[in-house]
Structure 1
């Protein structure tokens, strides 16, 4: 059995040890490295290319959001789960925009983190149930622009689905066997047809269409 390779980053040693014990108790997961600050977390992700990085939002140096954004840009095959105490919509939206695929509250049951790791590793999006409604259901999606008369094509919809699930352009290009510039064009065309300007709007739309199986708003 191929085990998921996990990177953990948290600046509290006791918390980090607890997360490591939790993850390593799962037969399909292994912790390949740990970090205590944002700089080390990104350096390890860049060098080791883990399947999933579990990041603390509030770390010294670059914070979790900044590290997640760098990982999405330079280590596209690595999916990010953010572990945080923050429950407000601004944090959730910010992290969705930078490409985070999993959002778990530190007060949640340990099993929630394990579910999130498995979900994002499988290509899904996982939001802690306590914040899912904040990210998706409070505001309805903005209607498509009046001039947006066409539906996205099948390929544009596939690119949008993968984008909503947290995959970067390079990862989508590899998965679909197309060029990165083609991915960018499909994404721009699809977003334009739907009248969307942000990933948060796209995630809400994707959830309403059933594209994100692990996310139940």
Structure 2
């Protein structure tokens, strides 16, 4: 059986040790190298030739490649054949949405079980995206008898565009300026769209759009 090669990156040595121990429980995966920061990681990728990079989202102190979304964008652009799994303490749905938009194949929250890393790696190894269970919970709670596809089809073109801009990180005020409409009108489109989708909160809305890949 061909093993999936993995390189780890985190600026905390104990995290690297813990993640390595979890991954090496499964004989389908092998950790070929580890890095303590962005520059170290990028220098090691051409030599290690990993199939998957498991990297922390925030690794401070790198003045060359940065960290966070800047680093993720660089990795997806420079190493398009390598899949990315991001570990993060951040659960802000806007940031998580931006990560998937940037091309990552999975996100694991550091507050969740380390065993979720294995579940994520298995999904990614099988060419599937991994969505954390905590992100999917609100989507399942809001699902009714009507299928997701049917609910999406009920959106008007304007409602769809308002949601697309909102999930992209714009405020209702920004969207109103973009479309030259009043804030009340744009807010009405957003509320109507959420009602059609069976969603009651902004976090549920963003989770829904990520999970269904509505704007991919």
Relative to the length of structure 2, the TM-score reads 0.62
- State the partner residue of 1:78: 82
CA-CA distance at 1:137 after TM superposition = 9.4
CA-CA distance at 1:70 after TM superposition = 1.7
1:124-144 CA-to-partner distances (Å, cap 9, x unmatched) read 110211124679999x86947
Relative to 1, partners in 2 of residues 1:40 and 1:137: Cα closer, same or farther, differing over 3 Å? farther
Return the alpha-carbon distance in structure 1 between the equivalents of residues 138 and 102 of structure 2.
Answer: 17
Residue 49 of structure 1 contacts residue 75 of structure 1 at CA under 8 Å; is this kept in 2? no
Return the alpha-carbon distance in structure 1 between the equivalents of residues 45 and 74 of structure 2.
Answer: 10
Would you say 1:118 and 2:119 are equivalent positions?
A: no
Which deviates more, 20-29 or 37-46? Answer: 37-46
1:6-57 CA-to-partner distances (Å, cap 9, x unmatched) read 0100000111111111111211111011001112122222443311100101
Residue 136 of structure 1 contacts residue 204 of structure 1 at CA under 8 Å; is this kept in 2? no
Return the alpha-carbon distance in structure 1 between the equivalents of residues 34 and 18 of structure 2.
Answer: 12
- State the partner residue of 1:51: 51
Residue 6 of structure 1 contacts residue 54 of structure 1 at CA under 8 Å; is this kept in 2? yes
The higher radius of gyration belongs to 2
Return the alpha-carbon distance in structure 2 between the equivalents of residues 91 and 118 of structure 1.
Answer: 23
Return the alpha-carbon distance in structure 2 between the equivalents of residues 82 and 56 of structure 1.
Answer: 6
Residue 57 of structure 1 contacts residue 83 of structure 1 at CA under 8 Å; is this kept in 2? yes
- State the partner residue of 2:37: 37
- Structure 1's unaligned 5+ residue stretches are 147-199, 208-217
- Structure 2's unaligned 5+ residue stretches are 143-150, 159-206
Residue 136 of structure 2 contacts residue 211 of structure 2 at CA under 8 Å; is this kept in 1? no
- State the partner residue of 2:70: 66
Return the alpha-carbon distance in structure 1 between the equivalents of residues 140 and 76 of structure 2.
Answer: 22
1:65-107 CA-to-partner distances (Å, cap 9, x unmatched) read 3332222112111110111111111110110111111100112
Kindly report structure 1 stretches of 4+ aligned residues shifted beyond 6 Å.
134-138
- State the partner residue of 2:98: 94
Return the alpha-carbon distance in structure 1 between the equivalents of residues 50 and 110 of structure 2.
Answer: 22
Aligned residue for 1:55, secondary structure, equals: strand
- State the partner residue of 2:11: 11
Return the alpha-carbon distance in structure 2 between the equivalents of residues 25 and 74 of structure 1.
Answer: 30
RMSD: 3.1
Residue 42 of structure 1 contacts residue 67 of structure 1 at CA under 8 Å; is this kept in 2? no
Return the alpha-carbon distance in structure 1 between the equivalents of residues 36 and 139 of structure 2.
Answer: 28
Give the paired residue count.
Answer: 155
